[in-house]
Structure 1
Amino acid sequence: MPKFTEAEKAQIHQCLLTKGKELFSKYGLAKTSIDDIVLACGIAKGSFYKFFSSKEELYYVILRHEEKIREQVLGELLREDLSPKELLTSFFKKSLQLVDENPFLQLMFQEGEYERIVRKLPPHLRQETAQEDVEKGMQAVVMLMQRGVLREEDPNVIVGVIKAIMMIRLHKEKIGADIFPDVMNQVIEHVVAGLAVER
């Protein structure tokens, strides 16, 4: 197996992320093979395993990168002169809009897909990402409390509420695709009314 320089490793790693995202978005996780990915990157199949233990791990790493966009959305909204209700409503709606506009993120909302991916991840990666999610969520919630956006409540509960709203997207088809936008508007309106500080 060839040895790569640090520059080559960085280049191959980026290629796997880029081509992996393209292939997953186009064909889905199940129909994309490691052979497809390494062919697109021009590397040997054995070289793939120097970077990732499975295609699910590659998928998950790409997903984590895509999820960082939500943090950027929140940062942008904080720079605008919005009331607490406007800020929270915009955050939820823009987060859901990002999913609807991103074919890669939409894959996660197919029934059972997330569970399949998580099952195939190395245990240490599952634990690290779960811990990181909790910490980042808590930091964001505490920061929004300090800024007078969120009411003073148990941050764990608020993080759970935010996750719950995003997970409703998993049930779009069961709720009814035609009424889903109106349902989400109602859910967001009521949740924001309960979480936002009145000004």
Structure 2
Amino acid sequence: MRGFSDDERERITEALVEAGQRQFAQFGLERTRIKDITDEVDIGTSTFYQFFDSKEELYVEVLLREHRAFHTAAEEAVEDVDEPREQARAVLQTMFEEVESNPLIYRLIVEGELRSLQSRLSDAERAEIVDSIRGRRLSTLEEWVDDPAFRIDDREMVDALLRKLVFVSRAKNIPVAANTGPEYEETRDVLIDVVVNGLFSEPRDGDR
């Protein structure tokens, strides 16, 4: 079996991750075949195993990269926002947008996809996942907690609250009868307002 130079290995690895991202997003883990991925990259299925031990290992790599991108999007949403109250609003809006538009992020965060993979992973792989996800917390949380108007002084609680709020996105695809009330998007936006105003004391007149 031919070897690959370092540059070739890097190029093929990235191509496999990108192809896997597309296939997993469209078909999910179970319905995606290794051949579907290698055909995109123009390598043989046997060559795949020189880069990843299994389809599951590639899937974990894809999910971890998606999680890093999700975290980066939330951080970038507050780069030009100074007020903690508006930072919280921007973070929540961004988190919902990412979960609603990215099927991989939805499966990772809302459906808990990584938990279903636990039995298929090694102890080292499970430890890597835990370290990667737990190690990513919004840098602005400290600023919020230190703000005198912020109602919660436990950073871990705030982090958990933000993570769990996006579970509301499950309601987006629940079929409802016509003319039964506000659409999902409207109720989600009201929820964001309620949460932000609840996190900070003395809401401004415009936010009441």
Normalised by the shorter chain, which TM-score bucket? 0.7 to 0.9
Kindly report which structure 2 residues correspond to 1:33-48, keeping only aligned pairs within 5 A, or say none: 33-48=33-48
Is the radius of gyration larger for structure 1 or structure 2?
Answer: 2
Higher alpha-carbon deviation: 187-196 or 22-31: 187-196
Q: Secondary structure at the match of 1:71?
A: helix
Give 1:11 shift: 0.8
Give 1:107 shift: 4.6
- Higher relative contact order (CA closer than 8 Å, sequence separation 6+): 1
Higher alpha-carbon deviation: 56-65 or 186-195: 186-195
Query: Which one of 168, 188, 194 corresponds to residue 190 of structure 1?
Result: 194
Q: Deviations over 1:119-169 (max 9, x none)?
A: 433332222222332232275522544577955612111111111112333
Percent sequence identity over aligned pairs: 25
| Structure 2 partner of 1:181 | 185
Decide whether aligned partners of structure 1 residues 6 and 191 sit closer, same or farther in structure 2, where only a CA change above 3 A counts: same
* Native 8 Å contact 2:74 2:94 kept in 1: no
| TM-score for the superposition, normalised by structure 1 | 0.78
Kindly report which structure 2 residues correspond to 1:100-115, keeping only aligned pairs within 5 A, or say none: 100-108=100-108, 113-115=113-115
Find the aligned partners of 1:57 and 1:149 in 2 and give their Cα distance: 44
Give 1:88 shift: 0.9
Find the aligned partners of 1:79 and 1:147 in 2 and give their Cα distance: 18
Q: Secondary structure at the match of 2:52?
A: coil
Higher alpha-carbon deviation: 72-81 or 175-184: 175-184
Decide whether aligned partners of structure 1 residues 146 and 112 sit closer, same or farther in structure 2, where only a CA change above 3 A counts: closer
- The amino acid of 2:192's aligned partner reads I
Higher alpha-carbon deviation: 15-24 or 125-134: 125-134
Decide whether aligned partners of structure 1 residues 160 and 111 sit closer, same or farther in structure 2, where only a CA change above 3 A counts: closer
Give 1:111 shift: 5.4
Give 1:12 shift: 0.9
RMSD of the TM alignment (CA)? 3.2
Find the aligned partners of 2:107 and 2:160 in 1 and give their Cα distance: 22
* Native 8 Å contact 1:15 1:41 kept in 2: yes
- The amino acid of 2:45's aligned partner reads K
Aligned residue pairs total: 199
- The amino acid of 1:85's aligned partner reads R
| Structure 2 partner of 1:72 | 72
Q: Deviations over 1:57-103 (max 9, x none)?
A: 21221122222233333333333245322221121112211232334
Q: Secondary structure at the match of 1:29?
A: helix
Q: Secondary structure at the match of 1:51?
A: coil
* Native 8 Å contact 1:99 1:105 kept in 2: yes
Decide whether aligned partners of structure 1 residues 149 and 57 sit closer, same or farther in structure 2, where only a CA change above 3 A counts: farther
Decide whether aligned partners of structure 1 residues 163 and 35 sit closer, same or farther in structure 2, where only a CA change above 3 A counts: same
* Native 8 Å contact 2:75 2:139 kept in 1: no
Give 1:22 shift: 1.7
Kindly report which structure 2 residues correspond to 1:1-199, keeping only aligned pairs within 5 A, or say none: 1-108=1-108, 113-137=113-137, 139-145=139-145, 153-170=153-170, 172-173=172-173, 179-196=183-200
Find the aligned partners of 2:147 and 2:9 in 1 and give their Cα distance: 42
